Amino acid sequence: MQFLTSPTEKKTLEISDLLDPQLLGEEVCVTGAIHTIRDMGTVAFVILRKREGLLQCVYEESAADFPIKELKEADTVKAYGTLAASEKAPGGIEIHLKRVTVLSRPAAPLPIPIAKAKMNISLETSLDLRPVSLRNIRERARFRIQEGIVRGFRDYLTEQGFTEIHTPKIGAKGAEGGANIFKLDYFHHPAVLAQSPQFYKQMMVGVFDRVFETAPVFRAEKHNTKRHLNEYTSLDFEMGYIDGFEDVMAMETGVLGRVMEILKRDYGRELSLLSITLPDVTRIPYVRFDEAKRLVSEKYNRPIRNPYDLEPEEEALIGRYFQEECGSDFVFVTHYPSKKRPFYAMDDPTDSTYTLSFDCLYKGMEITTGGQRIHDYNMLLEKIERRGMTTEGMEHYLMAFKYGLPPHGGLGIGLERFTMKLVGDDNVRRTTLFPRDMSRLEP
């Protein structure tokens, strides 16, 4: 009988392996895609693109058993050679090639110069050619940063006693109602795609107290802006037994701290490649919604047009204000008007025109919406009635309240938007692998 075991020895080495000084002078084997070839006659520099970065290989006719002409850009190869120190090479190492096996060869030359630091192509072209444009090392670095954000989110919450959940994306009714819902036919029943895991994560507070989910959400919003997507990844959590919505903001502060820690520890290459300076998140200012409006209106001489919502320009000014006044890229804006928040938001008992809710702005843009929720069954029914809504289709959601839920609150973070602000992009499509907007369903 034959058996498999887990992979033990590494057959080929990655860049981090090669940085071991003990390997200098040894013959090593590496794989990679040929990023560039600079042929200078008897010597050529063959740059391999590997998942951890670029690796310089040096070809000398006398040392190698193959002609350099056998290699083409975008070939994927397995290369054997001697590891050497080299001050000018990326990472201070290079490989003196002896032998190369070509593993695959493209069928056509690359349509865009992916080896250039800046490809100088439009966003549209970059998205149309996504399977190729993402091979550019700066393009792909964004998504390593994105990975770090998700890792920080999960890591911190797991440590804080949260349980990860997986809730359905197809359902009978949307969590927040409204028109912005994708509809589909589900075995001859009308169904919708989840706009958020809101109802489910609240139900799960009754089961695990603290839950989180990192999953796609779908919004049929007819926006075509630089910060909206019709499908995005939402980092959601919900926590029970809170004393107030400040507990939720404190938890987000903890999440952000862990995100920055993990990025600093494990994603130094990408931070440096994209020239990112990580923000300080040890303490984050908070301010009431109406107070924030007043502050920026006064400081920047701007009339308050809509007292119930923040316009994008106002959000930007609030971000600027707290950067200027206390050097923070982040600010929590609290106590949003009740009429702009969903029915399940807990109204402020001292003034029910406001809610115990918040947004987190990062560099002047909302990346999080959260708050305390109503947990009392009758209070929830009353609010639904007061809003002229129906409970139809909410029976299971209401069931959780009917049989008891603790005080709770939570939030949702838009992953792509957070990534966008962190890497300093100006369009959320740049930090989405394969974005979906009103006019883009492919690739």
**Burial profile 412-432: b = 16 or more Cβ within 10 angstroms, e = fewer:** bbbbbbbbbbbbebeebbbbb
Which residue, 4 or 40, is less far from a copy of itself as judged by CB?
A: 4
Q: How many CA atoms lie within 13 A of 200 on its CB side?
A: 20
CB of 246 to a copy of itself, least distance (A): 7
Residue 105 in marked binding region: no
Stretch that binds a copy of itself, among 90-98, 115-123, 271-279, 398-406 (CB under 8 A): 398-406
| Rounded (10°) CA dihedral 62, 64, 66, 68 | -80
List 81, 171, 364, 414, residue binding a copy of itself (CB under 8 A): 171
Cβ-contact 361, 330 below 8 angstroms: yes
427 binds a copy of itself (CB under 8 A): no
For residues 358 and 347, what is the distance between their CA atoms, to the nearest angstrom? 12
Q: How far apart are CA 183 and CA 190, in angstroms?
A: 7
DSSP string over 91-134: GGEEEEEEEEEEEE--SS--SS-TTSSS----HHHHHHTHHHHT
Q: Is 175 annotated as a binding residue?
A: no
- Label the pairing between strands 93-104 and 189-193: unpaired
User: Of 261-280, which residues contact a copy of itself (CB under 8 A)?
Assistant: none
Using the contact rule CB under 8 A, the part of the chain among 58-66, 304-312, 339-347, 432-440 near a copy of itself is 432-440
> Smallest Cα–Cα separation from 255: which of 267, 268, 239, 275?
239
Determine which residue in the list 67, 120, 122, 187 makes contact with a copy of itself, applying CB under 8 A: 187
Q: Which of residues 353-382 bind a copy of itself (CB under 8 A)?
A: 375-378
Residue 198 Cβ vs a copy of itself, minimum distance, rounded to whole Å: 13
- The amino acid present at 341, given as its one-letter code, is R
String marking each residue 11-50 x if it binds a copy of itself according to CB under 8 A: xx-x----------------x-x----------------x
Q: Which of 176, 231, 261, 290 binds a copy of itself (CB under 8 A)?
A: 231
Consult the annotation and say whether 398 binds a ligand: no
Tokens of 190: 């009308």
343 lines the binding site for a copy of itself (CB under 8 A): no
Please, which residue, 38 or 51, has the CB nearer to a copy of itself? 51
Please report how close the Cβ of residue 52 comes to a copy of itself at its closest, in angstroms: 8
Q: Of 94 and 252, which has the nearer Cβ to a copy of itself?
A: 252
Considering only residues 197-216, where is the footprint of a copy of itself by CB under 8 A? 200, 203-204, 206-210, 215-216
Q: Which stretch binds a copy of itself (CB under 8 A): 39-47, 59-67, 243-251, 339-347?
A: 243-251
326 binds a copy of itself (CB under 8 A): yes
Strands ordered across the beta sheet of 330-334: 163-164, 210-218, 231-240, 408-414, 365-373, 357-362, 330-334
CB 74 within 8 A of CB 110: yes
- Counting contacts by CB under 8 A, is residue 130 touching a copy of itself? yes
Is 395 exposed, middle or buried, given 0-12, 13-18 or 19+ CB atoms closer than 10 A? exposed
Binding residues for L-aspartate: 176, 219, 369, 373
Q: Which positions make up the binding site for ATP?
A: 219-221, 227-229, 366, 414-417
